[in-house]
């Protein structure tokens, strides 16, 4: 039988026990439900890595719902995408997690599933289903999900929509469209205080950002739109409102590789948009801390508390991509982001003392 001392006499056992201690402390750190650790593996309440990439956040009732791409299985590089390293995993569906406190996430399963039996379906595993965003329409009492639908070579560029009666689905897929007769790739979905909803998306081969008004049921584009950031090549849009100003966060277009973040502000969703440059500061600001924006949401019950969600993509192993969530600071009207190694929601309270570790 082994006792503590016998471990010291067996170098292999010693190494193994050190390794196990390291793994278990790493797991404790990532599973600890009381802090955010950007870039680490984040576990759900069953101890499984959260799988919700390019995601969005809905706050409904007293619960947060996090929707994202389920990136499962092997990443591979289709011949057509070789030039730009366009790795993919086959589509499995949109994953949803729920939480009361933003730290502990309960797996609600795939709320929109791939359709393997129909190769023509937008949801066939061979397609692209990305950047899902969900909002609740109080008029129809439906949960509306908009997403980027594409073929594996990203040449089809459509906007897909689905609805559900409850936030945890299942969502019923209604089809896809080429809004305003143009292409639609990376996208987000923004609901204003007056209940009007807009899709904001990369169009014209990513050379312009389109902002389109949706119908009252939020299921159709009504034909009123504007073209913004023309010639800039932006994507990964996230839109939010603070103190009557509209903010748009976006990335540049470099596939899965990170690049500098862009921010802009406007008095109206239609613009004109006043550019604010890159809100990130400090080391790795030029690569958005190795990540790409996907959504900004407000923390319920806290004053002026906005969190940005971003993805740290691992292109040759997309399933291992990580999450970077950071609090947005505002210097007057200007957003600022700095890397925080660990942080807690108490950062939004004052004084926040030890709620943050910078490294």
Contact set with ligand GAL (CB under 6 A): 54, 86, 130-131, 186, 235-236, 253, 255-256, 292
CA distance 229 to 215: 24
**Nearest CB to ligand GAL, comparing residues 71 and 142:** 71
Q: Which of 121, 138, 147 is nearest to 55 (CA)?
A: 147
CA 295 to CA 146: how far, in whole Å? 13
Q: Minimal distance in Å, beta carbon 257 to ligand GAL?
A: 9
Q: Kindly state the smallest distance separating residue 186's Cβ from ligand GAL, in Å.
A: 5
CB of 350 to ligand GAL, least distance (A): 35
Shortest distance, CB of residue 144 to ligand GAL, whole angstroms? 20
Q: Report the length, in residues, of the chain.
A: 359
Distance CA 207, CA 217 (A): 29
Question: Is the separation of the CB atoms in 110 and 129 below 8 Å?
Answer: no
Which C-beta is closer to ligand GAL: that of 96 or that of 253? 253
Give which of 178, 112, 192 is closest to 145, Cα–Cα.
112
Question: Looking only at Cα atoms, what is the longest distance across the chain?
Answer: 77
Q: How far is the CB of 132 from ligand GAL (least distance, A)?
A: 11
User: In the bound complex, what is the minimum distance in angstroms from residue 76's beta carbon to ligand GAL?
Assistant: 13
From CA 263, how far away is CA 333, in angstroms rounded?
12
Please give the Cα distance from 296 to 329 (Å, whole number): 12
Closer to ligand GAL by Cβ: residue 256 or 343? 256
For ligand GAL, the closer CB: 200 or 236:
236
Return d(Cα 145, Cα 122) in angstroms, integer. Answer: 14
Half-sphere exposure in the Cβ direction for 276 (13 Å, CA): 23
- Under a CB-based contact definition with an 8 Å cutoff, are residues 225 and 215 in contact? no
In the complex, least distance from residue 294 CB atom to ligand GAL, rounded to whole angstroms: 8
Cβ nearer to ligand GAL, comparing 98 with 292: 292
Decide if 35 contacts 342 (C-beta within 8 A): yes
Residue nearest to ligand GAL (CB): 255
Q: What's the closest the beta carbon of residue 225 comes to ligand GAL, in angstroms?
A: 21
- Residues pairing with 235 in the sheet: 251
Q: Which lies closer to ligand GAL via its Cβ, residue 114 or residue 347?
A: 114
* CB closer to ligand GAL out of 122 and 186: 186
Name which of 233 and 335 has its Cβ closer to ligand GAL: 233
Alpha-carbon distance of 155 to 183, in angstroms, equals 9
């Amino acid at each position: 039988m082994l006792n503590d001392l016998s471990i010291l006499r067996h170098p292999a056992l010693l190494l193994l026990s050190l390794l196990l201690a390291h793994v278990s402390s790493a797991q404790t750190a990532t599973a600890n439900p009381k802090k955010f650790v950007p870039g680490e593996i984040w576990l759900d309440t069953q101890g499984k890595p959260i799988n919700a990439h390019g995601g969005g956040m809905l706050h409904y009732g007293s619960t947060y719902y996090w929707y994202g791409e389920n990136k499962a299985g092997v990443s591979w590089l289709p011949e057509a995408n070789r030039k730009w390293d366009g790795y993919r995993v086959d589509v499995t569906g949109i994953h949803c997690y729920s939480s009361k406190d933003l730290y502990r996430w309960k797996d609600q399963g795939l709320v929109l599933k791939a359709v393997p039996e129909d190769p023509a379906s937008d949801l066939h595993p061979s397609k692209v289903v990305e950047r899902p965003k969900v909002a609740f329409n109080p008029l129809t009492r439906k949960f509306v999900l908009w997403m980027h639908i594409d073929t594996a070579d990203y040449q089809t560029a459509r906007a897909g929509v689905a609805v559900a009666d409850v936030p945890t689905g299942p969502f019923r897929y209604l089809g896809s469209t080429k809004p305003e007769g143009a292409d639609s790739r990376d996208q987000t979905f923004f609901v204003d205080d007056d209940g009007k909803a807009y899709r904001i998306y990369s169009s014209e081969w990513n050379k312009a950002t389109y902002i389109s008004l949706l119908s009252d049921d939020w299921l159709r584009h009504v034909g009123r739109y504007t073209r913004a950031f023309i010639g800039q090549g932006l994507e990964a849009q996230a839109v939010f409102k603070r103190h009557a100003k509209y903010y748009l966060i976006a990335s540049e277009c470099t596939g899965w590789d990170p690049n500098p973040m862009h921010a802009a502000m406007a008095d109206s969703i239609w613009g004109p948009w006043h550019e604010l440059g890159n809100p990130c500061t400090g080391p790795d600001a030029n690569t958005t801390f190795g990540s790409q924006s996907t959504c900004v949401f407000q923390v319920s019950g806290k004053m002026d508390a906005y969190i940005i969600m971003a993805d740290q993509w691992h292109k040759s192993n997309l399933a291992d991509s990580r999450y970077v969530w950071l609090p947005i600071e505002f210097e007057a009207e200007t957003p600022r982001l700095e890397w925080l190694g660990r942080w807690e929601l108490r950062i939004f309270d004052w004084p926040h003392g030890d709620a943050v570790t910078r490294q």
